[in-house]
Structure 1
Amino acid sequence: NERTLKIARENPGFVFAAIGYHPWEIRKEEVEGNLDFLRKEARNCVAIGEVGLDYRARVKKDLQKEVFGEVIRIALQHQKPLILHCRYSHRRVFEMIAEAGVRKAVFHWYTGPLDLLEEIIKAGYYISATPALTYSPPHQAAIKEAPLERILLETDTPVQYKDLVSRPKDVLVSLRGVARIKGVDPAEVASLTTRNATGLFGLDAPSPFR
């Protein structure tokens, strides 16, 4: 988080920071310190994330939900959108943010049920497309179902996707995957997803697609 904020400060208008508290990283003795960091630095970022729940993680579910609930409160207080990690917990994450009144959120690398995706879209939330589109049927199905107006592009760098160790430039892999699945020109995907991102995160970045 500190490194991300530093890079954003050094590259204004080109790099925009999101800071989070990933459920894999929750340690009971560190919770208050990490939450205090988010409270202090939330004003210096454009989003809070990744945050959420992971029901395959070793961290106890009750502790994850307690931390996520507090993170939601921080995001609401500072009017920041959430970037959501919801592995094997899609429904519960959706319920928690909806019940709390969160209006802006993106479900990172969505592979969950399509009936829930319909609710996510209806609620005005987004999902993101990753290079996993090259091989993941559940991810492909979600991107096929979601309207372009509710899709963002990402890489989850430096995650490894089979033979690809992703880098920021591999957002083009995500872009081409969306274009192929949707049957539209990559330039249209670039234009719409850029508009989606600038709107969701409140950016005023120059864009070649405007």
Structure 2
Amino acid sequence: MRKIIDSHIHLDLYKENEVRRIMNELDSARCTDLISVSFHLESCLHNLRLAETYSQIHAAFGFHPEQELPAAEALQDLFLWMEKHQKEMVAVGEVGLPYYLRSESKGNFSNDGYIELLEQFIVKAKQWDKPVILHAVYDDAPFACDLLEKHGVDKAHFHWFKGDSQTVERMIENGWFVSVTPDVVYEQEIQELAKIYPLDQMMVETDGPWRFEGPFSGKMTHPNMIHKSVASIASIKDCRVEEVYSCLYKNTADFYQFSS
């Protein structure tokens, strides 16, 4: 069966009617599960409510790095809340480093506080025995790798990864996972990653509500787009489509320790 799991989506950022539409169409999309990642404490609360409402939604809690660092009190509130809700949390995420925020600052920006914050999340994930969902691309990826190696983290999921070949090899050797977005259908950079990365260390995602181009231009990002991603991955890797569906599904279900 050609079942899918959306391994990375921001359901809390969709409008209510869009969430209802997605959830009502999951069966027809053959999507059994969604991992909804968080931006900050308010986002965590929203994702928890969604997970309590829909059995197909699994919530990850964290602080997205592409924003101003939280004040000490806000960070303490977030960690205390996450500690309290460990059982409802499938992973720590989305966490990482602010590559795009830093790029837009034109050199007037320091990563230091973000690296310290990422390390705190990695330490907590290790303590809670949870996977880490990472936003760490290009020049930032080696810093994230350093921290994961420092703390002996086995279960790391780099979403929508982009980076140099040396870092890719390092990630593969450590057994870490990447997830591929629908732009694998038309974006050469993502196609190259899909070609190199082992299928048994790969997942698929939408990162919705982020919008895509090519055949998805002008459309609301929906888990059903993943089917085109799977077809592209199968073509790139010269594998049977059924084999790719089965492997990607098993990878994700095993990584996040749920089954459907």
| TM-score normalised to structure 1 length | 0.89
Larger Rg, first or second structure (1 or 2): 2
Partners of 2:179 and 2:204 within 8 A in 1: yes
Partners of 2:158 and 2:177 within 8 A in 1: yes
Q: Does 1:24 align with 2:66?
A: yes
Residues 143-180 of structure 1, C-alpha deviation per residue, up to 9 Å, x if partnerless? 10011101001110111122254222222232122112
Residue in 2 that maps onto 1:91:
142
Partners of 2:69 and 2:114 within 8 A in 1: no
1-structure distance, mates of 2:141, 2:189: 13
Which structure exhibits the higher relative contact order, with contacts defined as CA atoms closer than 8 Å and separated by 6 or more residues? 2
Amino acid at match of 2:241: P
Deviation at 1:134, TM superposition (A): 2.2
2-structure distance, mates of 1:136, 1:32: 40
Residue in 1 that maps onto 2:252:
197
Residue in 2 that maps onto 1:169:
224
2-structure distance, mates of 1:171, 1:8: 21
Q: 1:6 aligns with which of 49, 53, 70?
A: 49
The percent of aligned pairs where both chains have the same amino acid is: 29
| TM-score normalised to structure 2 length | 0.73
Q: Does 1:63 align with 2:113?
A: yes
User: Which residues of structure 2 form unaligned runs of 5+?
Assistant: 1-43, 103-108
Q: Does 1:48 align with 2:89?
A: no
Q: Which residues of 2 match residues 134-153 of structure 1 at below 5 A?
A: 134-153=185-204
CA gap 1:169/1:19 in 2 versus in 1, 3 angstroms: farther
User: Which residues of structure 1 form unaligned runs of 5+?
Assistant: none
RMSD after superposition: 1.7
1-structure distance, mates of 2:230, 2:196: 16
Partners of 1:49 and 1:82 within 8 A in 2: yes
2-structure distance, mates of 1:96, 1:131: 29
Deviation at 1:7, TM superposition (A): 1.8
Secondary structure of the residue aligned to 2:209 is coil
Deviation at 1:201, TM superposition (A): 0.7
Deviation at 1:130, TM superposition (A): 0.6
